[in-house]
Amino acid sequence: MDYFFLSLIGSLIGTVSIVLIYIYLYLLYRERFMGIWIISWLILLSRFLLFDSGLLPWKQSFLGMTFYQMTFIFSALFFMWGTSILINKPLNKYWLSSAVISAILSIALNLFSSSLAPKLLLPLFFGSFAGIWIGLSFILHLELRGIGRLITGHAFILWSLLSLTLPLTIDSWFAPWGYVIGGLLRLTITIGTLMVYFEKSRIDLLNKEAHYRLLAENSIDVIYSYQLLPKSKIDYVSPSVITLTGYSPEEYYANNYLLLSLIHPDDQYILEDFINTLPRSIEIPLTLRLVRKDQTTLWIEQNSVPIYNEKGDLTAIQGTIRDITVRKSLEQMAITFDRVNTVGNMAASVAHEIRNPLTTVRGYLQVLGRKEKYQTDKDKFTLMIEEIDRANAIIREYLSLSREKLVSLKKSSLNHIVQALFPLLQADATASKVYATVDLTPIPDLLLDENEIRQVLLNFVRNGIEAMPLGGTLTIRTFLEDNKAVLSVSDQGSGIPSHILNDIGTPFISTKDAGTGLGLPICYQIAHRHHATIKINTSHEGTTFSVYFDLPVQ
């Protein structure tokens, strides 16, 4: 009897330890299947405490026997439910039906049978077969490579087979050994389950890490982590940085100051202000220019978050860097069109009011200039008339900016327009010691207003000629690029200064002393009416103006 109670207490202590371990894991990780298993172990624990310990006289009590029978069935059901969640497979509804039938028949046997073995037979059979199913589920359906699933699965099967002997051994000499062996198997199940859980957690962690790494490494935006304390360095930068800047992540890790050296000289002060005002400066996106490895310039936008340690010190910055060059170009284009439209609105309402008094003044100057007494000032009258004519010419260009102007588009050959105008352009170029040449590629007919395209071409060519006061070569080209037809005019001048380039296309902005600053705005307005875009490529070796036309839909 002493051995019996000693084995029972050992089994009870083991079961309590198991329950405590599972409760701790559930509170730590909040896994649903773990919570369901805790309920199952608590049912088993209640059986040990109330019945197997002899605390309640259950063998001769109808209610006691019924409760004892139900502990087998419900414990098995909860263990099966938790296992089905773990292996991610729905529990077959026939198991629930079998549990209900077993419970009803067990209660009936409890009423009509006086022998202990028949009363325990159905609950034990149900619990044992459920345990074998659980063991096989661990072995066959749990997608883990570790040994934990094999240990747990075989321990469940052995425990289930051992439980089948309970009706025969409950009052025999084997009962203490049965409790000892059952306790060891439950301990084995717990150890195996813990191994399974930690293996599953490790694999889930690896999968999440791989998922996040895949997102980071395939992101178009550059993802980075920059450490500030205890030493400034780049902790991580995603592979997309090589597409953005031309330098690989390894080059950034090797040279901590590489990124700083890429900042455009005109934007260095923006970065310095950002660094000096940390962490307040993080609240708004940082926008500046970078010079890529191939020396091209692009606009970037940085969004970042601060990382603090437990002392509240700013230790790192993490964030993303995005290429916004296209967005900046669109913004600049929108600003240009807005400025042009503003001038156009002004032109429609003001220009005619200016021309009328100028016409009157010019007429009186002509009349007065013919009088005998003013013949000595004839040169002055001529100069005044010329200046009024110049003012009228400016107003005429000013009027051409009006947004109300109608455009007549029809299918025309861009090459034919260039060829027809080229003799005039060549004569202008020759007079300024400039050699003009054409390079025309066959392109489809486009929807064009021929007069407006001539005006664009004349403006580009005259700008190119004036950019080469010492002579040079002017090249007019047509070609196809990225499913668009392109008209380009290239000169060999000194290029457009950066402070002018930013405001190019703005009315009244000109690099020429006698320029009106209306030629390029007119070109932008014409391009806009043709649904075309103008791109400028300039350097100290020359400037190329290109107009990109959409090809007609076939």
Domain 410-550, CATH 3.30.565.10 — does that match? yes
Is residue 165 predicted with pLDDT exceeding 90?
A: no
Averaged pLDDT for residues 229-249: 85
| Res 475: pLDDT | 93
| Res 349: pLDDT | 60
| Res 256: pLDDT | 81
Distance in angstroms (rounded) separating the CA atoms of residues 258 and 401: 47
- Tokens 């007429």 found at: 363
| Res 416: pLDDT | 92
Averaged pLDDT for residues 16-28: 80
Instruction: Quickly state the pLDDT bin for 168 (edges 50, 70, 90).
Output: low
Token pair, residue 173, equals 């000499």
DSSP 245-271: HS--HHHHHH-TTHHHHTB-GGGHHHH
Instruction: Quickly state the pLDDT bin for 487 (edges 50, 70, 90).
Output: very high
Q: Which residue has the higher pLDDT, 474 or 26?
A: 474
CA atoms within 13 A on the CB side of 22: 26
Name the percent of the chain lying above pLDDT 90: 8
Name the percent of the chain lying above pLDDT 70: 82
Which amino acid, 279?
Answer: P
**Beta-strand runs (E) in 434-532:** 434-440, 446-448, 472-481, 484-490
Give the global pTM: 0.45
CA 45 and chain centroid, separation: 52
Is residue 121 predicted with pLDDT exceeding 50?
A: yes
| Res 3: pLDDT | 44
Instruction: Quickly state the pLDDT bin for 249 (edges 50, 70, 90).
Output: confident
Q: At what angle do helices 62-86 and 32-47 cross, to 10 degrees?
A: 160
Averaged pLDDT for residues 90-105: 89
* Residue closest to 110 by CA, chosen among 66, 55, 141: 66
Q: Report the mean per-residue pLDDT for the chain.
A: 80
| Res 488: pLDDT | 94
> What is the bridge-based pairing of β-strands 297-308 and 286-291?
antiparallel
Averaged pLDDT for residues 382-408: 69
Question: Could you report the per-residue pLDDT of 326-361, keeping only the tens digit for each?
Answer: 888 777 766 666 666 666 666 656 665 676 787 778
Averaged pLDDT for residues 402-424: 79
Averaged pLDDT for residues 108-134: 83
CA max distance for the chain: 151
| Res 340: pLDDT | 62
| Res 8: pLDDT | 56
Distance in angstroms (rounded) separating the CA atoms of residues 130 and 77: 8
Token pair, residue 10, equals 């050992």
Averaged pLDDT for residues 303-312: 85
Token pair, residue 81, equals 């439910």
| Res 441: pLDDT | 92
Question: Could you report the per-residue pLDDT of 278-300, keeping only the tens digit for each?
Answer: 888 888 888 888 888 888 888 88
Phi-psi label, residue 428: left if phi above 0, alpha if psi -120 to 50, beta otherwise: alpha
Scanning 30-61, the segments in alpha helix (DSSP H) are 32-47
Which amino acid, 82?
Answer: G
* Residue closest to 421 by CA, chosen among 447, 407, 440: 440
Least-confidence region, from 317-326, 359-368, 420-429: 359-368
| Res 2: pLDDT | 46
| Res 4: pLDDT | 47
Q: CB of 491 within 8 A of CB of 542?
A: yes
Q: CB of 234 within 8 A of CB of 244?
A: no
Distances (CA, A) of 369 to 361, 365, 378, 379: 12, 6, 6, 9
Distance in angstroms (rounded) separating the CA atoms of residues 339 and 421: 30
Question: Could you report the per-residue pLDDT of 507-518, keeping only the tens digit for each?
Answer: 555 555 455 556
| Res 435: pLDDT | 92
| Res 405: pLDDT | 56
Least-confidence region, from 4-8, 111-115, 493-497: 4-8
Q: What are phi and psi of 443, to 5 degrees?
A: -135, 155
| Res 474: pLDDT | 93
Sign of CA dihedral 218, 220, 221, 222: positive
* Residue closest to 190 by CA, chosen among 142, 151, 143: 151
The CATH number assigned to the domain with range 222-323 reads: 3.30.450.20
Question: Could you report the per-residue pLDDT of 181-217, keeping only the tens digit for each?
Answer: 777 777 787 788 778 878 877 777 777 776 667 666 6
Domain ranges, ordered by start, for the chain: 2-213, 222-323, 329-400, 410-550
* Residue closest to 437 by CA, chosen among 494, 492, 519, 485: 492
Token pair, residue 191, equals 């150890």
| Res 544: pLDDT | 93
Is residue 158 predicted with pLDDT exceeding 70?
A: yes
CA dihedral 80, 85, 86, 91 (to 10 degrees): 40
Token pair, residue 33, equals 């299947």
